[in-house]
């Protein structure tokens, strides 16, 4: 399938999704890659990872960008040369990019039972109390996505999900909420938004100034 959908977050921010149904060769014929990206692609162990990487380039090309407009800093955070902010997430079935005028983070996470078991390691497990199992999975996955998204904005070593990022209580029906980063003697407020796409949670976050 080609381009899947655009989700408009606000006037200057959109998320773009690619549903991965192509094989490696189909993608490879259609994207133009820098040498550094070719090297990265060759080093990837699974075709699924390669396809996720190539689908991101398909999304860039869909938006009139290309792999040549994208570069990474020393921590692996992606940037666009035109100064717009980009955040990237990919999984088995989808690749997602978020483009914005302000720093934002995105995360796409598959819904899996195991997240409930490991929830106490990364979140306040009381936020899952009184939920049916399906909703526990959804909420814990969203909370993981919130923390990944905030991490992707801050891009700083030493941030721990359970020790430094705290989601405020929210309901799945809210589709949005607030979180705090308490790190290095600073407290920062973040907003998040989420939705479910097939069996994935798609989360984005941005600072609430």
Ligand X SMILES: CC(C)(COP(=O)(O)OP(=O)(O)OC[C@H]1O[C@@H](n2cnc3c(N)ncnc32)[C@H](O)[C@@H]1OP(=O)(O)O)[C@@H](O)C(=O)NCCC(=O)NCCS
Which residues contact ligand X (rule: CB under 6 A)?
53, 75-78, 88-90, 107, 122, 148, 151-152, 155, 161
**Least distance from ligand X to the Cβ atom of residue 172, Å:** 21
Distance CA 30, CA 17 (A): 17
**Least distance from ligand X to the Cβ atom of residue 170, Å:** 20
Q: Which is nearer to ligand X, 73 or 132 (CB)?
A: 73
Q: Which is nearer to ligand X, 138 or 152 (CB)?
A: 152
**Least distance from ligand X to the Cβ atom of residue 53, Å:** 5
Q: Which is nearer to ligand X, 22 or 107 (CB)?
A: 107
Compute the C-alpha angle 57/62/63, nearest 5°: 100
One-character DSSP codes across 107-163: EEEE--THHHHHHHHHS-GGGGTT--HHHHHHHHHHHHHHHHHHHHHH--TT--HHH
Tell me the residue number closest to ligand X, measured at CB: 76
Tokens 């090309």, residue located: 61
Q: Which is nearer to ligand X, 76 or 126 (CB)?
A: 76
Contact predicate 205/149, CB 8 Å = yes
**Least distance from ligand X to the Cβ atom of residue 109, Å:** 7
Q: Which is nearer to ligand X, 60 or 132 (CB)?
A: 60
Residue of 76, 100, 98 lying closest to 89 (CA atoms): 98
Q: E strand or H helix at 71, and its extent? A: strand 70-72
**Least distance from ligand X to the Cβ atom of residue 199, Å:** 16
């Amino acid at each position: 399938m080609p381009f899947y959908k655009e989700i408009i977050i606000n006037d200057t921010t959109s998320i773009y999704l690619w549903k991965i149904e192509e094989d490696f060769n189909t993608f490879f014929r259609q994207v133009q890659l820098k040498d550094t990206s070719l090297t990265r692609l060759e080093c990837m162990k699974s075709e699924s990872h390669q396809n996720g990487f190539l689908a991101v380039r398909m999304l860039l090309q869909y938006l009139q960008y290309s792999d040549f407009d994208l570069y990474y800093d020393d921590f692996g955070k992606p940037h666009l040369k035109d100064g717009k902010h980009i955040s990237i997430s990919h999984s088995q079935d989808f690749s997602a990019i978020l483009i914005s005028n302000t720093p934002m983070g995105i995360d796409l996470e598959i819904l899996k039972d195991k997240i409930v078991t490991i929830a106490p390691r990364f979140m306040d497990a009381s936020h899952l109390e009184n939920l049916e199992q399906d909703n526990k999975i959804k909420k814990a996955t969203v909370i993981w996505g919130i923390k990944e998204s905030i991490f992707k904005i801050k891009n700083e070593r030493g941030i721990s999900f359970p020790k430094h990022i705290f989601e405020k209580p929210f309901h799945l029906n809210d589709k949005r909420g607030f979180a705090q980063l308490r790190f290095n003697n600073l407290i920062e407020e973040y907003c998040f938004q989420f939705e479910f796409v097939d069996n994935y949670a798609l989360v984005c976050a941005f600072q609430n100034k």
